[in-house]
Amino acid sequence: MAALKIKKGSSSHSAYDLRDSHSQIESSHTLAVIVDNEAGVLARVIGLFSGRGYNIDSLTVAEVDHKGHKSRITVVTRGTESVIDQIKAQLGRIVPVHEVKDLTVEGSPVERELALIKVSGTGDKRIEALRLAEIFRANVVDSTLESFVFEITGTPEKIDAFADLMRPLGLAEVARTGVAALSRGV
């Protein structure tokens, strides 16, 4: 109980402990959140992430059970194990949330994303874009003499790779849906 020696520049005299106790390794998790499709439910989920300082890398949402008015929110987030556990617990206590599944913990899930990618150009670049699209199994869904719109489906990494290749060939615009994911097996 000797007098406390506070060092110069220390934050220990602050009203809060300013040291971050969560400075460990972060990993990415894909969560599936089953919710009642009622007004404001998405705002509740997003508000939780922003209000508590969690990350959202990808977010998709749509009603998957029209009769039961249930929506599935797929959210890809990053954090340490304890933060991921906290995110799941916080999601779980939102009243219209029925279930929170951590697809990453259940085993590497099937993840797919759809993207529309517009590439403008003429000549060799245009031909090269079309050739690469074939390799990536991207479909042409719109075409003018100076542009293509490709539709591509795959993992986020595959879409990243395709977009990167298109960049020098005249990448004009990208629209992505975000990840939809299911666990493997039954």
Partner 1 sequence: MARQMTGAKMVVQALKDQGVDTIFGYPGGAVLPIYDEIFQQNDIHHILVRHEQAAVHMAEGYARSTGKPGVVLVTSGPGATNAVTGLTDALMDSIPLVVFTGQVPTFMVGTDGFQEADTVGITRPCTKHNWLVKDTDKLSETIHQAFHVATSGRPGPVLIDMPKDVQFATGTYTPPKAARTDNYQPQVKGDLEAITQLVELIEQAERPVFYTGGGVINSGPAASQLLRELVDATGFPITSTLMGLGAYPASGKSWLGMLGMHGLYEANLAMHGCDLMINLGARFDDRITGRIPDFSPRSTKVHVDIDASSINKIIPVELPILGDIGHVLEDVLKVWKARGRKVNKAGLEKWWKKIDEWRAVNCLAYTNSEKTIKPQYALQRLEELTKGMDRYITTEVGQHQMWAAQFLGFEDPNRWMTSGGLGTMGYGFPASIGVQIAHPDALVINVAGEASWLMNMQEMGTASQFRTPVKQFILNNERLGMVRQWQELLHGERYSQSWSESLPDFVKLAESFGWKGIQVSDPAELDDAIMEMINYDGPVLFDCLVEKHENCFPMIPSGKPHNEMLLAADADAFKEGATLV
Would you count residue 185 as binding partner 1 (CB under 8 A)? no
- Residues contacting residue 178 through CB under 8 Å, at least 6 positions apart: 58, 59, 60, 74, 76, 113
What is the C-alpha separation between 97 and 93, in angstroms, rounded? 7
The label of the residue with tokens 């029209």 reads 66
Nearer to partner 1, 51 or 107 (CB): 51
Structure tokens that stand for 67 in this block: 């009769």
**Window 64-93: contact mask with partner 1 (x via CB under 8 A):** ------------------x--xx--xx-xx
Nearer to partner 1, 77 or 113 (CB): 77
Nearer to partner 1, 42 or 182 (CB): 42
CB of 26 to partner 1, least distance (A): 17
Q: Residues 90 to 149: which contact partner 1 by CB under 8 A?
A: 90, 92-96, 98
Nearer to partner 1, 51 or 123 (CB): 51
- Residue 175's nearest CA partner among 113, 133, 114, 116 is 116
Nearer to partner 1, 4 or 25 (CB): 4
Task: Return the amino acid letter for 57.
Answer: D
What is the C-alpha separation between 44 and 94, in angstroms, rounded? 8
Beta strand pairing call for 58-65 and 139-143: unpaired
CB of 50 to partner 1, least distance (A): 9
Q: What residue ranges bind partner 1 (CB under 8 A)?
A: 1-19, 21, 36, 39-40, 43-44, 47, 51, 82, 85-86, 89-90, 92-96, 98
